Amino acid sequence: MNAPPAVLQTPGFAHYNLAWSPFHTERLAIASSANYGLVGNGRLHLASLAGPSGVANLKLDKFYETQDALYDVAWSEIHENQLVTASGDGSIRLWDVMLNDLPIRAWHEHTREIFCVDWSNIRKDQFATSSWDGQVKLWSPEHPRSIMTLQTHHSCVYQALFSPHQGDILATGSTDGTVKIFDLRASSFAPQSNSFTAPLTAAALTVPASGGEILSIDWNKYRPFVLASAGVDKTIRVWDCRMVKLGDVSGPDAGAAVGGTCETQLMGHEYAMDYESATWENASGPDTRSAYRVCGRPWIQTTALQSIDPEDILSNSLEYLYDYTPITQSSAGTVYTYTTPSSSAQAITITLSTPDTQAENWQLHASSIWVSSIYIADHIEELHLDATPSQPLQVLELGAGAGLPGILAAKRYPHLRVTSSDYPDAELIRALEANVKSNGVSDRCRDVPYAWGSDTTILLAGTERTIDGNAVSGFDVVIAADTLWNPALHAPFVGTLCGTLAKTADARIRLVAGLHTGRYTLQAFFGAIKSAGLDIEEVVERAVRGGGQRDWDVNRAEGEDEREWRRWVVWVVLKWKNIA
């Protein structure tokens, strides 16, 4: 007869992670947080497995209170009574279970939440932490500060794990969809990054593992350089990374290795495989790739490499491979080329450098070309910018990023005066300025650094004019793509809309937001604009591909999965409520 499972309940504290002691087979540590880690304090629980033979009993021995949520815990590999915790306030603490109340050491160098701590089982005097600040730090209990800092990603690093085979090898998984392997003996900055304002440590190998966030990774304990990854795409993939370059990776080839062979992928509970080949057409001709089909969906294995960013290959192939419509195109620091659809009245090609924001501003999500931005560009003629009034039409783009819609509008309609603006991040604005200049619209499109909710004078400069004998300032059309995802920014964003839209009956705000924003988040925004004196002239859901359209309905949130909401954007037109 099977023994019933041992159960330990900790009322008020949800468990984020737990770890068995490497010295005592019955000792367990649990990292816990109040309010599911969203707000409030944390608690480190210590439990032990005890009871007569065949009957399991999990007993709470003691706990330690912390001022912020705990997300991970790891036992020391050299001291049986010590363990380290990772906290939501960016701090780590070393505890001794023989002492009460307070940690024996604390460090606080990370600027964001720490989601992972891993103690090396080879270099037993070291442990690593990974954080939402994009950094991985190495520590030793005997040192008052970190002994090494790696700027591994420009976005959140959910996990960093030492190799169980080589003490100087460490792997990371991030929200940018990549798994990276680092050789700690040869740490250097990647040549394509700016080592002063946006440093990025060179990886020995970068695996473009997913079109979405990588939430978890693990090394194979028996086969060196084999890892598994799992993420928001609900797929587990096993990677053979034996092409990793070890040793001196400094110099021109630093960080250049990209690859990893996907041995296996698991989707849900299906497991079926066949083989197919597919051909994509691109600017340089046919590009043939073979693919292994798992669970009826294939995985790319490139057989004819072009000069294309591998991360972009994965993103651009999502719709064909997984029936997933990608929500972003391009990646930080790469070049993206846009061409108007064949149905457009005028064929225009625009080349854009994708911004690579400073590390502290990764949360802007400005280092991609979002599908909503492309949707506006594809439907530029529906913005009704072709009117030719006696004075140039004034157009403002907020949250411009690389500037695709604004630059296309200026190129398509020479009579416009376009202002493309985004957050005053030096790297972001520099890329936007370069894109405006390289596409030949500097004479009618200006780039302006601007933070929503601040003084709009810098935006309004030059928009003064007289219409029907009345002095008017502001913009005839305000456009924005995927700017509604953060509810905390709704108020300053609405304030900026109201402060920049011209007080005329014909002035319009045109917004496009992907459904990844969240239906309830969008509904909250609609409530905010009504109380600000704006009216919704139109709000519909439009298919990203194929021209489908349906009414907006917040109630679809309950029955929608990720594959479905990726297929739609929300098209919104706003106007002044009381100006006729």
Q: What is the DSSP letter of 517?
A: G
One domain for residues 246 and 350 = no
Q: Token match 């014909």: residue?
A: 506
Q: Token match 């939430």: residue?
A: 215
How many domains does the chain divide into?
3
Cα separation of 323 and 530, whole Å?
Answer: 37
One domain for residues 290 and 341 = no
Q: Token match 């925004």: residue?
A: 525
Residue 112 lies in a domain: yes
One domain for residues 85 and 25 = yes
Tens digit of pLDDT at every position of the chain (580 positions): 455 577 888 888 888 999 999 999 889 999 999 876 677 789 999 999 876 555 568 889 999 999 889 999 999 999 999 999 999 999 999 999 999 889 999 999 999 999 999 999 999 999 999 999 999 999 999 999 999 999 999 889 999 999 999 999 999 999 988 999 999 987 666 555 444 445 688 888 888 888 788 999 999 988 888 999 998 877 888 998 876 655 543 433 344 577 778 888 776 533 333 333 333 333 333 333 333 333 333 333 333 333 444 444 444 554 554 456 777 787 777 899 999 998 888 899 999 998 888 767 766 778 788 899 999 999 999 998 987 666 789 999 999 999 999 999 999 999 999 999 999 999 999 999 999 999 999 999 999 999 999 999 999 999 998 887 888 999 999 999 999 988 888 999 999 999 999 999 999 999 999 988 888 889 989 999 988 999 999 999 999 988 899 999 988 887 777 778 888 999 999 999 988 7
**Using an 8 Å Cβ cutoff, are 188 and 130 in contact?**
no
**Using an 8 Å Cβ cutoff, are 179 and 227 in contact?**
yes
Residue 300 lies in a domain: yes
Q: Which two tokens stand for residue 435?
A: 């894109």
**Domain range holding 297?**
273-324
Residue 330 lies in a domain: no
One domain for residues 41 and 176 = yes
CATH code where residue 258 lies: 2.130.10.10
Residue 561 lies in a domain: yes
One domain for residues 409 and 310 = no
* E strand segments, 51-191: 57-66, 70-75, 82-87, 91-96, 105-108, 114-119, 127-131, 135-139, 148-151, 157-162, 169-174, 178-183
CATH code where residue 513 lies: 3.40.50.150
Q: What is the DSSP letter of 109?
A: -
One domain for residues 252 and 347 = no
Q: Token match 């250097």: residue?
A: 188
- Closest to 407 measured CA to CA, from 399, 392, 419: 419
**Using an 8 Å Cβ cutoff, are 371 and 327 in contact?**
yes
What lies within 8 Å, CB to CB, of 442 at 6+ separation is 436
- Closest to 278 measured CA to CA, from 231, 222, 251, 316: 316
Strand partners, 91: 108
One domain for residues 288 and 246 = no
Residue 298 lies in a domain: yes
Q: Of 283, 299, 324, which residue constitutes the final position of a domain?
A: 324
